[in-house]
Every structure is written in C-alpha cells, then in structure tokens.
C-alpha cells in the first residue's frame, strides 16, 4: 500500500514537472491557466528582395534545451490586419497544444499589406518553415506537420497555398475567406467597411480591373484551384458566415460555392464547411473557430501530416512558370498567358495540357539507364538520371505512359 502511494506521488511530481512551464497560477489562487506563448519578431527577405517581418509564436517552456520538432501553423493576416494583430488572435493555443505559429507581414506585387494571394506572396508562405529555422536556429520545425490557417484575405492565401503546395501543407482552414477575387471586386461597393477606395487598391495590386487583367485575378482565386483541392487529398475546412457583410454572398459566390464545386468534382474530397452567423472574421478567435480548427488539424490528438508520396490520382493546375510536386518538376519555357494542368490517371500514366512549351522531370523506378516513354502514339527512349527522366513537350494536350 505504502509503495503504491509513493508511486502515485512520484507520478504526480513527474507530471507537474512536465506541464509546469506551460501553466501559471492566478494571483488570487484558483485554477491554473495556460501561459501565453513566447512572441518573437523575425525578419525575412520577400520574393522581391524587400525585408519584411513576421511574428513567431512559440509554446511557453519551449527552450533550446527542450527544442523538439514543432508543428507549424502559417497564419497570413486578413486585409486591414497586421502580423502583430493576427498573432494576438491565437491566445494561449500554441502553449495548450504545443505548436508554433508564424504570422508574416506579407508582400504583394505593388502593395505590401494587401497581397491578395500574389504568386510571390504564396511562394514566401511556402518557405516559412525554412525562414523560421534560419531566423531562430534552435527552433526545429517538423516539415511533415505544416498547416495554413487565415481569416478573410489570409484564408484566401491559405487555400491557394494548400492548392499549389500539397506536398508541403498537411491541412488548411479558411475563416470567412475569399474564393473568387473577380466577384469580390465587383461586389465591393455592397460591402460593409469597404468601397471604391479598396477597389482602387485592388486595381493597383493586380495591375488593372478584372476586365483588363482576368488572369491576374484568376491566379489569386482559390476557385481556380478547385480541382487541385478536390484531388490532392489535402484536408480543408471552410468557415463562412450567412451574416457576413464584408465578403458578401459567401453562400453563392465565395466559400459556399467553393465547397460545392470541390464536392461536385470529387465527392470523396476531404473538405468540410462550417456555417455560422458571426460577423466577418469574428470567429477567428480561440473561443469560436481557432480551437476547433486546431482539433481539425490534430484529430484524436494526432497531428495530420504530409504523406510521403502523392495520392494515386492527383491533379496539379497552376499558372506558375515553375512548380514542384513531390519528385515531379514542371517548368514552362515561354511566358504564361493561362493555366497548365497535369493529372495522373493511372500508376504510370499522366496527362499534360499546357498552352506553352514545358519541360518535365518525372520520377522513374527503372533499374536500367533508360526508360521507354509513350508520348501520344510515339515511343521514346529516355535516359534515367538520379531516378528521374526529363522530357520536353510542345504546347497542347499529351498523354504520357512510362513503360
């Protein structure tokens, strides 16, 4: 009996020693509360060479002596917010669930704070794990447990990031985010707290109106990447409000529409929607959305992770001149004026549709120094280098079969 009591006491002491750094006791006594995360301001070089800052949140008690690998949530801010203000929205959650959050200031093409999912901004977001580890060398990020969560414009960027980098983002959540930037532009006069001055900012950032620069708006719209989100198996959570007076018509033109399009393309896609009656972005706080979002990112207490290989049937649609996807590499040789699309339809078969010439690097498991590749109806013999083959394709639609 005495031995059992001592074992219980010892277990309690060990538990207290483990969770002690994460808890603080109120001055008047009572129940302990989780400590606020440690906040650090770091700097990074944006895609255009400018120096920008980001707020990094680390769980309380995470020190160089106790620096295990952390899950990382990339949290781009909404329009009118800043990196500091969005960092404050996370409250004590990083300490409670032991993860890191990075909130970058962002960088658009012409406006620093109104990036609206500019291609360079999305590329910067994808580099955030490396940026964090370079800025704070003793912080270690688990590259297989990286997530994207944002409100409004930040939700738009989180979805585009997940669509373009499914090999780096394990899951994503958008709270009252945009899905179609073109529709958003024309609905701005009806939006609360926005108007023609915000339309002017969008024209400046995108280089013109949607009528004059349709591709610039399409490249920044998650709706353009609905097929990626439908087939690349990245779990997505869409929060939107019936009472949103800022991003109006969420059900018919924005997040509600995106959800229906994804499910129509692939009913088995891991996407779900949560509909509220909250004002715009009011749900972006620990008490409403963020606590449930973290539960979505770590169901049953286990964080989702990026799979080691792409799903069996995947699709990548992009307007970037260079893209990578696990061991696949795609590069266009001429300026792009539209989207290109690559889809794997069978184990050794992919279909490529591109408006300009493209070079491809495809993984190949052939044990010989060459591989036979059927391009259309023509049989080619290609050299295998470092487990990959390199192909050059003209514009048009081609079916590739690695034999």
Per-residue pLDDT band for 403 (boundaries 50, 70, 90) equals confident
Q: What is the pLDDT of residues 182-235, one digit of tens each?
A: 999 999 888 766 667 789 999 999 999 999 999 999 999 999 999 999 999 999
If asked whether residues 323 and 221 sit together in one domain, one would say no
Q: What is the pTM of this model?
A: 0.89
Domain of 156, CATH number, reads: 3.40.50.1820
Domain for residue 19, yes or no? no
Pairing of strands 140-151, 171-175: parallel
If asked whether residues 321 and 293 sit together in one domain, one would say no
Tell me phi and psi for residue 51, to 5 degrees.
-90, 125
pLDDT score recorded for residue 24: 42
Per-residue pLDDT band for 129 (boundaries 50, 70, 90) equals very high
Q: Which residue has the higher pLDDT, 388 or 241?
A: 241
If asked whether residues 221 and 359 sit together in one domain, one would say no
Neighbour-count burial of 98, counting CB atoms closer than 10 A to its CB (0-12 exposed, 13-18 middle, 19+ buried): middle
pLDDT score recorded for residue 10: 37
Q: What is the pLDDT of residues 240-289, one digit of tens each?
A: 999 998 999 999 999 999 999 999 999 999 999 999 999 999 999 988 89
Q: Which of 120, 77, 257, 244 is nearest to 180 (CA)?
A: 257
- Whether residue 366 is predicted with pLDDT greater than 50 in this model: the reply is yes
Instruction: Kindly list the distances between the CA atom of residue 368 and the CA atoms of 233, 298, 383, 387, in Å, as whole numbers in the listed order.
Output: 32, 42, 9, 10
Q: What is the pLDDT of residues 7-21, one digit of tens each?
A: 433 343 333 333 344
Query: Range of 383's domain?
Result: 315-402
Pairing of strands 322-325, 328-332: antiparallel
If asked whether residues 269 and 332 sit together in one domain, one would say no
Q: Which of 42, 79, 78 is nearest to 57 (CA)?
A: 42
Asked whether the CA dihedral 214, 103, 329, 350 is positive or negative, the reply is negative
Q: What is the pLDDT of residues 60-89, one digit of tens each?
A: 999 998 889 999 999 999 988 999 999 999
Pairing of strands 33-34, 23-24: antiparallel
Tell me phi and psi for residue 395, to 5 degrees.
-60, 155
State which of 301, 326, 347 marks the end of a domain: 301
pLDDT score recorded for residue 6: 38
Domain for residue 23, yes or no? no
Domain count, the chain: 2
pLDDT score recorded for residue 337: 82
């Amino acid at each position: 009996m005495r031995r059992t009591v001592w074992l219980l006491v010892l277990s309690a002491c060990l538990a207290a020693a483990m969770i002690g750094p994460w808890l603080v006791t109120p001055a008047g006594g009572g129940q302990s509360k989780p400590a606020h995360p440690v906040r650090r301001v770091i700097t990074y070089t944006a895609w255009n060479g400018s120096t920008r800052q980001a707020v990094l949140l680390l769980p309380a008690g995470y020190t160089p002596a106790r620096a295990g690998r952390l899950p990382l949530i990339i949290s781009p801010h909404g329009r009118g917010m800043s990196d500091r203000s969005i960092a404050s929205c996370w409250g004590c959650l990083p300490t409670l669930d032991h993860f890191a959050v990075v909130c970058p200031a962002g960088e658009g093409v012409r406006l620093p704070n109104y990036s609206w999912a500019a291609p360079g901004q999305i590329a910067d977001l994808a580099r955030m794990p490396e940026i964090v580890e370079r800025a704070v060398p003793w912080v270690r990020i688990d590259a297989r447990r990286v997530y994207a969560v944002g409100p409004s414009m930040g939700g738009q960027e989180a979805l585009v990031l997940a669509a373009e980098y499914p090999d780096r983002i394990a899951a994503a959540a958008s709270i009252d985010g945009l899905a179609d930037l073109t529709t958003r532009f024309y609905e701005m006069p009806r939006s609360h707290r926005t108007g023609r001055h915000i339309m002017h900012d969008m024209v400046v950032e995108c280089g013109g109106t949607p009528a004059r620069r349709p591709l610039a708006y399409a490249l920044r719209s998650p709706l353009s990447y609905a097929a990626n989100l439908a087939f690349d198996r990245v779990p997505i959570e869409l929060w939107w409000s019936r009472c949103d007076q800022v991003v109006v018509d969420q059900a018919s033109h924005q997040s509600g529409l995106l959800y229906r399009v994804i499910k129509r393309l692939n009913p088995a896609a891991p996407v779900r929607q949560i509909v509220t009656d909250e004002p715009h972005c009011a749900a972006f706080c620990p008490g409403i959305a963020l606590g449930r979002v973290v539960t979505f990112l770590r169901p049953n207490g286990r964080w989702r992770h990026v799979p080691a290989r792409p799903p069996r049937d995947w699709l990548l649609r992009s307007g970037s001149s260079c893209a990578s996807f696990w061991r696949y590499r795609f590069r266009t040789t001429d300026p792009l004026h539209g989207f290109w699309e690559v889809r794997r339809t069978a184990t050794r078969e992919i279909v490529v549709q591109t408006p300009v010439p493209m070079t491809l690097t495809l993984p190949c498991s052939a044990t010989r120094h060459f591989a036979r590749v059927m391009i259309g109806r023509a049989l080619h013999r290609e050299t295998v280098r470092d487990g990959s083959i390199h192909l050059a394709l003209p514009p048009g639609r081609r079916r590739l079969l690695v034999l």
